[in-house]
Amino acid sequence: MTQAQAAADLEINTPAISGIKNSMQTRHAQLSGFYASGAVGFTRDGLVAVRDANAVPLAQRQGVNALVSAENNDRNALYREIATANSHPEWEAEVRSTFAQRWIQKAQSGWYYQDGSGWVKK
Protein backbone atom coordinates (compact mmCIF):
# COMPACT_ATOMS: atom_id res chain seq x y z
CA MET A 1 0.00 0.00 0.00
CA THR A 2 1.37 3.43 -0.89
CA GLN A 3 1.71 6.29 1.54
CA ALA A 4 -1.26 8.10 0.01
CA GLN A 5 -3.49 5.04 0.19
CA ALA A 6 -2.51 4.51 3.82
CA ALA A 7 -2.85 8.15 4.86
CA ALA A 8 -5.46 9.73 2.59
CA ASP A 9 -9.00 10.10 3.85
CA LEU A 10 -10.86 8.93 0.76
CA GLU A 11 -14.21 9.59 2.44
CA ILE A 12 -13.35 13.22 3.15
CA ASN A 13 -16.21 15.55 2.31
CA THR A 14 -16.17 19.19 1.31
CA PRO A 15 -18.86 21.19 -0.48
CA ALA A 16 -16.96 20.73 -3.76
CA ILE A 17 -16.65 16.95 -3.29
CA SER A 18 -20.30 16.69 -2.29
CA GLY A 19 -21.37 18.58 -5.42
CA ILE A 20 -19.26 16.37 -7.67
CA LYS A 21 -20.61 13.18 -6.07
CA ASN A 22 -24.22 14.40 -6.44
CA SER A 23 -23.61 15.16 -10.11
CA MET A 24 -22.08 11.71 -10.65
CA GLN A 25 -24.92 9.98 -8.81
CA THR A 26 -27.52 11.71 -10.97
CA ARG A 27 -25.63 10.79 -14.14
CA HIS A 28 -25.18 7.17 -13.03
CA ALA A 29 -28.87 6.50 -13.64
CA GLN A 30 -28.39 7.63 -17.23
CA LEU A 31 -25.20 5.59 -17.71
CA SER A 32 -26.21 2.32 -16.03
CA GLY A 33 -28.03 0.96 -19.08
CA PHE A 34 -24.95 1.62 -21.20
CA TYR A 35 -22.73 -0.18 -18.67
CA ALA A 36 -25.17 -3.12 -18.76
CA SER A 37 -25.19 -3.28 -22.57
CA GLY A 38 -21.40 -3.17 -22.72
CA ALA A 39 -21.39 0.09 -24.63
CA VAL A 40 -19.55 1.87 -21.80
CA GLY A 41 -16.95 0.49 -19.42
CA PHE A 42 -14.51 1.44 -16.70
CA THR A 43 -10.93 2.24 -17.71
CA ARG A 44 -7.78 1.30 -15.80
CA ASP A 45 -7.19 4.95 -14.94
CA GLY A 46 -10.44 5.56 -13.08
CA LEU A 47 -12.45 6.99 -15.95
CA VAL A 48 -15.17 5.62 -18.23
CA ALA A 49 -15.02 5.11 -21.96
CA VAL A 50 -17.28 4.17 -24.83
CA ARG A 51 -16.21 0.57 -25.34
CA ASP A 52 -18.58 -0.39 -28.15
CA ALA A 53 -20.26 2.46 -30.01
CA ASN A 54 -22.19 -0.10 -32.08
CA ALA A 55 -24.08 -1.10 -28.92
CA VAL A 56 -25.59 2.41 -28.88
CA PRO A 57 -28.30 3.36 -31.38
CA LEU A 58 -26.97 5.99 -33.76
CA ALA A 59 -29.47 8.59 -32.52
CA GLN A 60 -28.14 8.20 -28.94
CA ARG A 61 -24.38 8.18 -29.61
CA GLN A 62 -23.87 11.92 -29.27
CA GLY A 63 -25.71 11.86 -25.95
CA VAL A 64 -23.64 8.92 -24.68
CA ASN A 65 -20.43 10.70 -25.66
CA ALA A 66 -21.60 13.79 -23.76
CA LEU A 67 -22.46 11.67 -20.68
CA VAL A 68 -19.04 9.97 -20.77
CA SER A 69 -17.28 13.32 -21.14
CA ALA A 70 -19.22 14.86 -18.25
CA GLU A 71 -18.57 11.77 -16.10
CA ASN A 72 -14.85 11.92 -16.79
CA ASN A 73 -14.73 15.63 -16.01
CA ASP A 74 -16.37 14.91 -12.65
CA ARG A 75 -14.12 11.93 -11.94
CA ASN A 76 -10.99 13.98 -12.66
CA ALA A 77 -12.31 16.77 -10.44
CA LEU A 78 -13.19 14.28 -7.67
CA TYR A 79 -9.67 12.82 -7.56
CA ARG A 80 -8.14 16.30 -7.56
CA GLU A 81 -10.50 17.58 -4.84
CA ILE A 82 -9.93 14.57 -2.57
CA ALA A 83 -6.15 14.92 -2.85
CA THR A 84 -6.39 18.68 -2.23
CA ALA A 85 -8.79 18.25 0.71
CA ASN A 86 -6.19 15.92 2.26
CA SER A 87 -3.64 18.75 1.85
CA HIS A 88 -1.64 16.60 -0.56
CA PRO A 89 -2.45 17.52 -4.17
CA GLU A 90 0.52 15.38 -5.20
CA TRP A 91 -1.50 12.29 -4.15
CA GLU A 92 -3.98 12.75 -7.01
CA ALA A 93 -2.57 9.89 -9.10
CA GLU A 94 -2.69 7.49 -6.16
CA VAL A 95 -6.23 8.58 -5.23
CA ARG A 96 -7.21 7.96 -8.88
CA SER A 97 -5.64 4.49 -8.81
CA THR A 98 -7.45 3.55 -5.61
CA PHE A 99 -10.79 4.73 -6.99
CA ALA A 100 -10.17 2.89 -10.29
CA GLN A 101 -9.92 -0.34 -8.29
CA ARG A 102 -13.05 0.52 -6.27
CA TRP A 103 -15.16 1.27 -9.36
CA ILE A 104 -14.22 -2.11 -10.83
CA GLN A 105 -14.94 -3.93 -7.56
CA LYS A 106 -18.36 -2.28 -7.33
CA ALA A 107 -19.25 -2.90 -10.98
CA GLN A 108 -22.19 -5.22 -11.52
CA SER A 109 -21.81 -8.59 -13.14
CA GLY A 110 -21.84 -8.20 -16.92
CA TRP A 111 -20.25 -4.73 -16.91
CA TYR A 112 -16.92 -4.18 -18.64
CA TYR A 113 -13.65 -2.88 -17.27
CA GLN A 114 -10.09 -2.65 -18.51
CA ASP A 115 -7.23 -4.66 -17.10
CA GLY A 116 -3.69 -5.01 -18.37
CA SER A 117 -4.81 -7.07 -21.37
CA GLY A 118 -7.79 -4.96 -22.47
CA TRP A 119 -11.55 -5.07 -21.90
CA VAL A 120 -12.91 -7.74 -19.56
CA LYS A 121 -16.53 -8.61 -18.79
CA LYS A 122 -17.12 -8.91 -15.07
Q: Which stretches of the chain score pLDDT less than 50?
A: none
Tens digits of residue pLDDT in 29-61 = 999 999 999 999 999 999 999 999 999 999 999
pLDDT (0 to 100) of residue 8 = 80
pLDDT (0 to 100) of residue 6 = 56
pLDDT (0 to 100) of residue 4 = 52
Q: Which long-range contacts (CB under 8 A, 24 or more apart) does 17-25 make?
A: 17/78, 17/81, 17/82, 17/85, 20/74, 20/77, 20/78, 20/81, 21/78, 23/70, 23/74, 24/71, 24/74, 24/75, 24/78
